[in-house]
């Protein structure tokens, strides 16, 4: 029994030296595993952060776009719009009558009677470019309105302002 114990002690001493190197290797492996896990976690964390940032950016962009869409509704009306609304009590007539729509869809030429009937219709139209109210006969023949001197001056002032605004808009100065 004593010989077996001595052999076991010698084997244990040899195993202890090999086991310590095994333990070191195990420790190294586990440390490497832990490091790998830590790095993976950090990577995942970074990715999540990136995604969050991207989402926030997208939300911000969408909010900005929504605000920009809302802004035009809130902006103050131009002088031209105010002036047109002030004269809004006058009826300028329909933009296009049912017959005109029907003829447009069929594209047939007008008869003489239809043409004369159309030419006899005179309506008031606001010129969107200059803001002037014009009398228009038939399809688009412009008849200038007869007005008093004061009214004429007022119309010219407003039209000049409208022309200026249009000019600036086309140049891109006043947006």
pLDDT 10s digits, 34-54: 999 999 999 999 999 999 999
Q: For residue 64, which of 56, 75, 52 has the smallest C-alpha distance? A: 56
Q: What is the pLDDT of residue 45?
A: 95
Q: Record the pTM.
A: 0.28
Q: Which two tokens stand for residue 119?
A: 């030419």
Q: Is the CB of residue 122 less than 8 Å from the CB of residue 137? A: yes
- Residues of the chain above pLDDT 90, percent: 21
Tokens of residue 34, six digits: 């832990």
pLDDT at residue 93, as a whole number? 59
In this prediction, residue 8 carries a pLDDT of: 47
Mean pLDDT for the stretch of residues 137-164: 81
- R_g (Cα) of the chain, nearest Å: 44
pLDDT in tens, 62-84: 888 887 777 655 566 666 666 66
The predicted-structure confidence for 118-137, as pLDDT tens digits, reads as follows 888 888 888 777 677 788 88
- Answer whether residue 15 shows pLDDT above 60: no
Between helix 149-171 and helix 79-86 the angle, nearest 10°, is: 140
Q: How many residues does the chain have?
A: 175
> For the stretch 117-138, what's the b/e string if a residue is b when 16 or more beta carbons lie within 10 angstroms of its beta carbon?
ebeeeeeeebeeebbbbeebee
Q: Which of the residue ranges 11-15, 42-46, 80-84, 102-106 would you say has the lowest mean pLDDT?
A: 11-15
């Amino acid at each position: 029994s004593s010989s077996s114990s001595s052999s076991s002690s010698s084997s244990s001493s040899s195993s202890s030296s090999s086991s310590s190197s095994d333990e070191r290797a195990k420790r190294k492996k586990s440390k490497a595993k832990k490091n790998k896990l830590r790095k993976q976690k950090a990577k995942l964390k970074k990715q999540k952060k990136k995604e969050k940032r991207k989402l926030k950016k997208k939300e911000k962009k969408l909010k900005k776009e929504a605000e920009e869409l809302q802004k035009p509704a809130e902006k103050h009306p131009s002088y031209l719009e105010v002036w047109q609304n002030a004269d809004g009590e006058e009826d300028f007539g329909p933009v296009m009558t049912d017959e005109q729509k029907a003829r447009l869809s069929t594209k047939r030429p007008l008869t003489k009677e239809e043409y004369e009937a159309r030419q006899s219709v005179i309506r008031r139209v606001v010129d969107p470019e200059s803001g002037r109210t014009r009398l228009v006969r038939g399809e688009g023949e412009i008849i200038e309105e007869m007005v008093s001197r004061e009214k004429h001056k007022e119309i010219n002032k407003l039209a000049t302002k409208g022309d200026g605004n249009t000019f600036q808009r086309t140049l891109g100065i006043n947006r």
